[in-house]
Amino acid sequence: MIVILQNHYAEFWEGLKVTFWLSGIVWAFGLVVGVVLGLLAARWTILFGMPVRIFAVLLAAVPALVFMFWFHYPFQMSLNIVVDPFITAASSLSVINVVLVANHTLQVVGNFPRQYITAGRLCGLSDARIVWSIGMPIALRQLLPGMLQIQIVMLQSTLFASLISVDEIFRVAQRINSQIYKPVEIYSLLAVFFILICVPLNLLASFLKSRFSRDLSRS
């Protein structure tokens, strides 16, 4: 494994950069647009809330790969355009991430325990103070674990981009394997890469979930 890594260091590094770049775009779009959309959906339940819920249900039913392929072939064919596969992958995965994050935000904000807000009002706190000192910290703690899980799934979903010819880490690994045929070593290396990234994120998500969700349920 070490020898393969030494011999193909540059290619792996290029693949990793594409994976990180793709994940970065998908995460940034999903987190920023998704949270804003989720807040809008919680505020205007018909105008934004219903579409978010419907899209979330539909996207949960359609595999990410099918969604990406749909963006790559039929969508571009029907508009008679050709889009760079990287942009196609980034767009389709970003849409999925936006909807998942928006739906998660909607659930958390929609189920926010009203008694905390009421207690703030009864204590004479201003609305700004209630949002800043009570609403935001509590909502963030409820949002974070689920949000991290979604981002881990999105990172893993970037592998699908290899199927529409994006040179990310999985496609690079496939190419190297076709040259030297060492599948056990190459795909183990790929697994190690994902373990190094996803395990700490998963542990962080579990920690946040046990640390904060339990607190909220008892008080």
Partner 1 sequence: MLTASGLSKSFGGKLVFQDVSLKLEAGTITTLLGPSGSGKTTLLNVLAMTDVASSGEIDIDGRLFAVANDGWSAKAPRPELTKVDQRLGLWPNMSLRQNIVMPLQARGIKDLSLVEELVAELKMSTFVDRYPNQVSVGQQQICAFVRHVVLKPKYLLLDEITSALDVEYVSRILGRLKVLSGTGVAILLTTHLIGFARQSADRVLFLDGGRIVEEGPSEVIDAPKSRRFGSFLSMVMEAR
Residues at the contact surface with partner 1, assessed by CB under 8 A? 113, 115-116, 118-126, 129, 133-134, 137-138, 141, 214-216, 218-219
- The residue among 31, 159, 153, 46 whose CA lies nearest residue 99 is 31
- Nearer to partner 1 by Cβ, of 17 and 129: the residue is 129
- Nearer to partner 1 by Cβ, of 51 and 135: the residue is 135
Shortest Cβ 15–partner 1 spacing (Å):
42
- Nearer to partner 1 by Cβ, of 77 and 119: the residue is 119
Q: Quick count: other Cβ atoms within 10 Å of Cβ 144?
A: 17
- Nearer to partner 1 by Cβ, of 79 and 128: the residue is 128
Shortest Cβ 68–partner 1 spacing (Å):
39
Contacts of 207-215 with CB under 8 Å at 24 or more apart are: 208/141, 208/144, 208/145, 208/148, 209/145, 212/141, 212/142, 212/144, 212/145, 213/142, 213/145, 215/141
| Rounded-to-integer distance, Cα 142 and Cα 116, Å | 14
Q: Which residue has the tokens 């204590």?
A: 123
Q: In whole angstroms, how far apart are CA 64 and each of 89, 138, 196?
A: 10, 31, 23
- Nearer to partner 1 by Cβ, of 126 and 206: the residue is 126
Shortest Cβ 74–partner 1 spacing (Å):
48
| Rounded-to-integer distance, Cα 20 and Cα 135, Å | 33
Shortest Cβ 114–partner 1 spacing (Å):
9
- The residue among 65, 63, 83 whose CA lies nearest residue 75 is 83
Shortest Cβ 112–partner 1 spacing (Å):
12
- Nearer to partner 1 by Cβ, of 126 and 188: the residue is 126
Shortest Cβ 118–partner 1 spacing (Å):
5
Shortest Cβ 214–partner 1 spacing (Å):
7
> What tokens were used for 63?
């595999």
Q: Which amino acid makes up residue 102?
A: A
Cβ atoms of 68 and 88 within 8 Å: the answer is yes
- Nearer to partner 1 by Cβ, of 63 and 113: the residue is 113
Q: What φ, ψ does residue 113 adopt, rounded to 5°?
A: -60, 115
